[in-house]
Amino acid sequence: MLGNAIYPLLATSWGRTTKERLGVKDFIEFPTRHDANHRTSKVGHPEPTQRQLDRENKNPMRIRFNPLTIKKFRRFRSIRRGYVSLLVLVFMILLSLGAELLVNSRALVVHYQGQFYWPTYGNPIPGTVFGQDYQHETNYRELARQFEAEGGRNWVLMPPVPYNPYENDFRDNTLPPSPPSTRDRHFCGTDASGRDVLARLVYGFRLAIFFSLALLLATFMTGISLGSSMGYFGGPFDLIFQRLIEIWSSVPNLYVIIIIASVVIPNFWILLFILWAFGWMGMTWTMRTVTYKERARDYVLAARALGASHSRIIFRHILPNTVSVIVSYVPFQVAGGIVALAALDFLGFGLPPPEPSWGELLQQGWANLSAWWLSGSVVAAMVLTLVLVTFIGEAVREALDPKMHTTYE
């Protein structure tokens, strides 16, 4: 749909050659997923002692990851660009989780009359607590200035960016948007209504990435459960859903989403539902095809002959063999979700107004052409995030499905 389901197109290796990374012995050394899954006790081998069993139970990772998975992960790690991108992205997500500590109008620490206050989380502290003459929440930036002017032993430690994404910082002699200024600590300037751009970028990133991950979870759950049962059971069930998917994929997505979003005033969950309703088909179709192929293999027949139930075969036998397909779709789906949300916000059919969002910032940058910092900072943030995600995706794909190319001199 809005995203990109064209991941196989990027099937080139730009890093080191695959031959380097994939020694021939790797093919011999590691058993297939299936052999590794069934531990058999052979004659002559002693039964595992209680201590060994305890160790395995304490360390479930040993059981869950079979050598092939570890091998794939090592191969992914050897693709530096993708691996570093993953680390950077995870770091960014973790930072955004603690955004309240970095970008906030509330102080990190206030030292007032020998007592420490930690206002970041929890209920707002009224101004009277710090000897101010108002009942509403303390304005910590004012307080910091006041304490500094007094020169006493009271002090306030503000976060690096002392603004939250919702407040309007109006200055006396200028009209927003105002350009970046390190003196006011508006590192990326302010937007058309005087809100700090960096603050909105950071909180917008958090919103976008978690929206995207939630969308990913929803589409994958549908795709995996529906797709693998379609491929496994086949028959009329498969046929009905095939036609349904065929019909549903022909809907001009973005347009219909816009029409629906213009009717209901969407919030986070409604938007998620709409995008899910028009985006579940791709994953389902892929899973159907993969399961269909796996089902024809001998191990499924063997498991069936041993009396395994359908659900056991699907979840314990077929699904582990399709994991690589599922994983290689993840980064591209994440990028697609971020872009879809930004597009809807840009058009004005996304999250309701006060929410910090990249699409809304793009819209402001588009409407205020002279305020270069608006579009500049949000485009830079988008480029950074999307390129990171795409690098990861390309590396994952390459790690799971290495391709060898013959080249001619």
Partner 1 sequence: MTAYFIRRTLLIIPTFIGITLMVFAITRFVPGGPIERMIAEAQRMQVEGGGGRASAGAGVQRQPLSDEQIEFLRQYYGFDKPLLNSYAAWLGKVIRGDLGISTRYQDPVWDMIRSRIPISLYFGLISMVLTYGVCIPLGIVKAIRHKTAFDNVSSIIVFVGYAIPGWVIGIYLLVWLAGWWDVFPLGNLVSENFEELSLIDKILDLAWHSVLPVIAYMIGAFASMTFLMKNTLMDNLAADYVRTAIAKGLPFRRAVFGHALRNSLIPIATSFGHNISIILTGSFLIEKVFNIDGMGLLGYESVLERDYPVVLGVLVIASLLFLIGNILSDVCVAAVDPRVQFD
Residues that bind partner 1 (CB under 8 A): 4, 6, 9-12, 14, 243, 246-247, 250-252, 254-256, 258-260, 262-263, 335, 339, 342-343, 346-348, 362, 365-366, 369-370, 372, 375-376, 379, 382-383, 386-387, 389-390, 404-408
Query: Smaller CB distance to partner 1: residue 53 or 383?
Result: 383
Query: Smaller CB distance to partner 1: residue 102 or 260?
Result: 260
CB count, 10 Å around CB of 197? 30
Are 121 and 100 in contact, with CB atoms under 8 Å apart? yes
Alpha-carbon span 381 to 200, nearest angstrom: 11
Query: Smaller CB distance to partner 1: residue 130 or 241?
Result: 241
Cα 58 vs. chain centroid, distance in angstroms? 30
Q: What minimum distance in Å lies between the beta carbon of 22 and partner 1? A: 16
Q: What minimum distance in Å lies between the beta carbon of 187 and partner 1? A: 19
What kind and span of H or E run contains 112? strand 109-112
Q: What minimum distance in Å lies between the beta carbon of 260 and partner 1? A: 6
Q: What minimum distance in Å lies between the beta carbon of 11 and partner 1? A: 5
Cα dihedral 316, 320, 326, 328, rounded to 10, equals 170
Are 129 and 143 in contact, with CB atoms under 8 Å apart? no
Query: Smaller CB distance to partner 1: residue 14 or 237?
Result: 14
* Count of alpha carbons within 13 angstroms of residue 123, beta-carbon side: 5
Query: Smaller CB distance to partner 1: residue 37 or 289?
Result: 289
Query: Smaller CB distance to partner 1: residue 317 or 397?
Result: 397
Alpha-carbon span 261 to 253, nearest angstrom: 12
- Start-to-end CA distance of the chain, whole Å, equals 41
Alpha-carbon span 261 to 267, nearest angstrom: 10
Are 338 and 209 in contact, with CB atoms under 8 Å apart? yes
Q: What minimum distance in Å lies between the beta carbon of 273 and partner 1? A: 14
DSSP state of 81: H
Q: What minimum distance in Å lies between the beta carbon of 318 and partner 1? A: 23
DSSP state of 166: T
Q: What minimum distance in Å lies between the beta carbon of 59 and partner 1? A: 39
Q: What minimum distance in Å lies between the beta carbon of 176 and partner 1? A: 17
User: Which residue is it, tokens 């480029």?
Assistant: 383
Query: Smaller CB distance to partner 1: residue 234 or 320?
Result: 234
SS (H, E, C) 263-282: HCCCCHHHHHHHHHHCCCHH
CB count, 10 Å around CB of 184? 16
What kind and span of H or E run contains 186? none
Query: Smaller CB distance to partner 1: residue 157 or 367?
Result: 367
